[in-house]
Amino acid sequence: MSRHSAKPDRAWFGQAASLLALLVIGVIFVRFSPGEWRWSTDPQRIGWALAASVLFFAAWGFGARRRAARKRAEAGAPLRADGPLPVFHASQTGFAQQLAEQTALALQRAGVPACAKPLTALDVEALATVPRALFIASTTGEGDAPDALAGFVRRTLAGKAPLPGLHYGLLALGDRHYTQFCAFGRQLDAWLQAQGATPMFPSIEVDNADPAALERWRDALAQLGGKALELPQFDAAPWQDWHLVQRQELNPGSQGEPVFQLQLQPVDDPLPAWRAGDIAEVLPQHAPETLSAWFCATGLDPQQQVDVAGTGSSLIDHVARCELPEPAHIAGMDAQQVADTVVQLRARDYSIASIPADGSLELLVRQGHRPDGSLGLAAGWLTRHAAPGKTIALRLRSNPNFHAPDDDVPLILIGNGTGLAALRALLRERIAAGRHANWLLFGERQRSCDFFHGVELEAALAAGHLSHLDLAFSRDGAQRVYVQHLLQQQAERLQDWIEAGACIHVCGSLEGMAGGVDAALRSILGDARMQHLAETGHYRRDVY
């Protein structure tokens, strides 16, 4: 996505050749007659069309490979005082990386050479020679750095590296639902200043992709050229309308909250591509009874037409996806003024449980309740209020930190509850690629109710597509058994798999499971080995 603006961009070659090939296909393959057109049956025309198709896909692949290679080269290029402005990212779920790439691209468009780089690749000695740098840092869990940054924290942030000539800007990503909000970003900011680096502007903290905070980041970037630069808006993926095709409860009778499998299809567009491990961002809506009560309290007409970004909409359709202000706060406003005032609801992230070859996007969603007994906003929308056939606003986000390894190394999948979603997708992707050295350790409450996709998993085991399947159902015995206990029971096998180069992917609840699994892995493999696995990308987590 990011390019060095000082280098010629030849990506246009693949794009232009692709367009030319499509034009040739149309001219050759379609026969026109007065008032009509039809597909040609001439073998020679068909042959030319097929040849043009080959050209199209070859050109498209050539352009894609060049862009990917250039992106890798820029990320790995050494820092230079006269080089492009580095935009370092520390990412857990891919959002910080996405913002870094968009930041670099926006600066390039504004005439400032820039490139995105992972913070794991930071050379502190080289950084001392660079006049300016940007940092985008996520905080994960309860104030931790992203998993891959454990070595960076230990080696770099615990030491000293004089940086008196460095001017920097920092964007910290976090979630105020957690106690240690933006803790890693704050730690990085404090370390940079302790080394003598000078902030170009106060650090900007973002709560759950808050648009206002991202706008402040954009405004700060606009001053980096020594003059006001006209930066374009960040390229946020647009919301796409999807149909809820099917919803099925997977655990009727469970002691826990109901869990549902959802199948979704795009309303108008073809099924997009994604990788196992990627994220579906869902824009929830309020329950019908919530909206009804709000309109009664405000006295507004829910069917009143309003203008939303140049498009007509009923007021109820618009506010259904927005924070509902207190009726007293909008007293005296008309429908259009209210539409202009309300703020869109925060999107919720869900691991994707399927791969594109399955023909639909699938989610596993637990129907959580608030302390007062009411359904959670997003879970309630997806599991109860959105009827099959209803439109769901959704967009995809790449999460490269949780993608499967590209080579055929063994893969250990560990998770509990709805964390099975991402693990199932990874397993299906591996099976489709003919990679069968897979080991799944999964935990839930009761085997009779909570063995999600159990038939599918046991069939994979029987077919040899899954080497081992270890299960922990905590409510089925006198003693509570969890996935971390399975690891202790299989310590010898775990060591053998790690010696064979295995990667570990953990997905599920942060509280309890993730910490217990990490402690079990460290007790078996040792802290040094675990640090090495995290730093080399062999230990990856997607926990919530």
Per CATH, which fold does 404-543 belong to?
A: Rossmann fold (3.40.50)
First and final CA of the chain: distance in angstroms? 28
Instruction: Give tens-digit pLDDT for 30-56.
Output: 444 444 444 455 656 555 545 544 444
Cβ burial of 378 (10 Å; 0-12, 13-18, 19+) is buried
Structure tokens at 525: 């493999």
- 3-class state of residue 441 by DSSP: strand
- HSE-CB at 460 with a 13 A cutoff on CA atoms is 24
Which residues are CB-contacts of 367 (< 8 A; sequence separation ≥ 6)?
A: 257, 258, 259, 260, 375, 376, 379, 380, 383, 384
Residue 232 pLDDT? 66
The more confident residue out of 346 and 298 is 298
Per CATH, the architecture of 237-282+347-402 is what? Answer: Beta Barrel (2.40)
DSSP secondary-structure letter at 419?
A: G
Could you tell me which of 34, 31, 35 has the C-alpha nearest to residue 44? 31
Residue 427: pLDDT above 90?
A: yes
Mean pLDDT of 499-514: 94
Would you state the pLDDT for residue 510? 86
| Mean pLDDT (the chain, rounded) | 87
Residues in contact with 513: Cβ distance below 8 Å, sequence separation at least 6, in sequence order:
415, 416, 417, 419, 443, 482, 483, 484, 543
Is the backbone of residue 219 left (phi > 0), alpha (psi -120 to 50) or beta?
alpha
Q: Determine the Cα–Cα distance for residues 160 and 162; give it in Å rounded to an integer.
A: 6
Average pLDDT over residues 526-531: 94
Q: Cβ(225)–Cβ(106) under 8 Å?
A: no
Write down the pLDDT at residue 54: 43
**To the nearest 10°, the Cα dihedral for 47, 52, 54, 56?**
-160
In the prediction, which pLDDT does 177 show? Answer: 80
| Closest C-alpha among 201, 196, 81 to residue 131 | 81
Tokens 């040609």 label which residue?
40
pLDDT for 299 equals 97
**Of 70 and 215, more confident:** 215
Please count the other Cβ atoms lying within 10 Å of the Cβ belonging to residue 82: 8
Mean pLDDT of 453-470: 98
In this predicted model, which residue has the larger pLDDT, 50 or 392?
392
pLDDT score, position 42: 60
Which residues, other chains included, contact 396 with Cβ-Cβ below 8 Å and sequence gap of 6+?
Answer: 237, 272, 274, 278, 279, 280, 281, 352
Q: Which residue shows structure tokens 């820029």?
A: 74
CA nearest neighbour of 174 among 143, 196, 216: 143
Res 133: pLDDT: 97
Determine the average pLDDT of the residues in 417-446.
Answer: 98
Mean pLDDT along residues 167-181: 91
pTM greater than the 0.75 cutoff: yes
CATH number of 77-221: 3.40.50.360
The span from the CA of 236 to the CA of 230, in Å, is: 18
Q: Which pLDDT score is estimated for 22?
A: 42
| Of 330, 313, 319, nearest in space to 292 by CA | 319
Give the model's pLDDT for residue 115.
95
DSSP 177: T
Residue 56 pLDDT: 41
Q: What is the pLDDT of residues 121-145, one digit of tens each?
A: 888 898 999 999 999 999 987 789 9
> Of 74-83, 265-274, 389-398, which gets the smallest average pLDDT?
74-83
* 213-256 tens-digit pLDDT: 998 999 999 888 666 667 666 766 789 999 999 999 999 999 99
DSSP string, 375-398: BPHHHHIIIIIS-TT-EEEEEEE-
Residue 61: pLDDT band (50, 70, 90) is very low
Q: HSE on the CB side for 331, CA within 13 Å?
A: 5
Residue 512's nearest CA partner among 441, 413, 416 is 416
What residues have CB less than 8 Å from 31, skipping those under 6 apart?
Answer: 37, 38, 39, 40, 42, 45
Label residue 10 by pLDDT band (50, 70, 90): very low
